[in-house]
């Protein structure tokens, strides 16, 4: 972990976690295309789960169309089921989901979670946890499309109120509903250094 991180950060590759379904209505599909276009236009490489399904496929298509590079990391099981995106610049096939997450964490300098299901949330919270523990210094953000993540953030506030999480760690991630502002927030992010352990309450 770097202890002398320069700001703004250098982010050449950004991992995006998002749904393998498209969600309800067009707001999520439009947001996936917008984020992909923004990543591609900035010359960043997209690192993602390698599939052609749902928001994941739309995101990769938009990155490629905008002139960016798309690097997929997909499990053998999903590749065998025909879920592998055919047009990626690079697509690695790994054994298991744990291998995929570890490889994406190695490849990317920052992380974004779009709306998605339990897999998306699990991937994002693992990265947030690794940053909290100091095992990573790679910023993570939520693309809060249409307020999708507000219930999750309310639960985080509940953790703080119940003294399972220091209040400062609420700022350990970037939350934005605008794709450009989200990426700018990641570029300028400085890691929260407040210890995670709270004193015992009276």
Q: What is the pLDDT of residues 22-62, one digit of tens each?
A: 999 999 999 999 999 999 999 999 999 999 999 999 999 99
Predicted pLDDT at 202: 65
- Whole-structure pTM over 0.75, yes or no? yes
Q: What is the pLDDT of residue 91?
A: 97
Residue 64 lies in a domain: yes
Give the domain range for residue 140: 13-187
Q: Is position 20 within any domain?
A: yes
Is 201 inside a domain boundary?
no
Residues 142-185: tens digit of each pLDDT: 999 999 999 999 999 999 999 999 999 999 999 999 999 999 99
> Hey, what are 192's tokens?
């929260």
CA distance 14 to 68: 11
Pairing relation of β-strands 174-176 and 45-48?
Answer: unpaired
Express each pLDDT in 111-139 by its tens digit: 999 999 999 999 999 999 999 999 999 99
200 burial level (CB within 10 Å; 0-12, 13-18, 19+): exposed
Residue 34 lies in a domain: yes
The residue among 194, 125, 197, 133 whose CA lies nearest residue 164 is 197
What pLDDT is attached to residue 109?
Answer: 98
3 located within any domain: no
- If one counts the domains in the chain, the total is 1
Residue 199 lies in a domain: no
In a domain, 52, yes or no: yes
- The residue among 93 and 5 whose pLDDT is bigger is 93
Residue 33's nearest CA partner among 70, 72, 63 is 63
Q: Examine residue 2 and state whether it is found in any structural domain, yes or no.
A: no
pLDDT at site 6: 63
Six-digit token string for 4: 């002398």
pLDDT at residue 200, rounded to an integer? 86
Is the Cβ–Cβ distance between 191 and 6 less than 8 Å? no
CATH number at residue 129: 3.40.50.450
């Amino acid at each position: 972990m770097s202890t002398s991180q320069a700001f703004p950060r250098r982010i050449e590759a950004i991992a995006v976690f998002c749904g393998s379904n498209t969600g309800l209505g067009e707001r999520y599909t439009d947001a996936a295309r917008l984020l992909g276009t923004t990543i591609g236009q900035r010359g960043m490489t997209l690192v993602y789960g390698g599939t052609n399904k749902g928001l994941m496929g739309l995101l990769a298509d938009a990155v490629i169309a905008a002139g960016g590079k798309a690097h997929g990391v997909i499990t053998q099981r999903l590749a065998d089921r025909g879920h592998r995106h055919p047009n990626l610049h690079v697509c690695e096939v790994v054994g298991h989901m744990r291998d995929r997450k570890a490889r994406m964490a190695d490849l990317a300098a920052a992380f974004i979670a779009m709306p998605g299901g339990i897999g998306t949330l699990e991937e994002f919270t693992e990265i947030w946890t690794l940053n909290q523990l100091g095992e990573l210094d790679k910023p993570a953000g939520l693309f809060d499309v249409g307020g999708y993540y507000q219930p999750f953030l309310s639960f985080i506030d509940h953790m703080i109120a119940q003294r399972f999480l220091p209040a400062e760690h609420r700022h350990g991630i970037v939350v934005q509903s605008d794709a450009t502002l989200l990426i700018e927030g990641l570029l300028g992010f400085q890691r929260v250094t407040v210890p995670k352990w709270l004193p015992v309450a009276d």
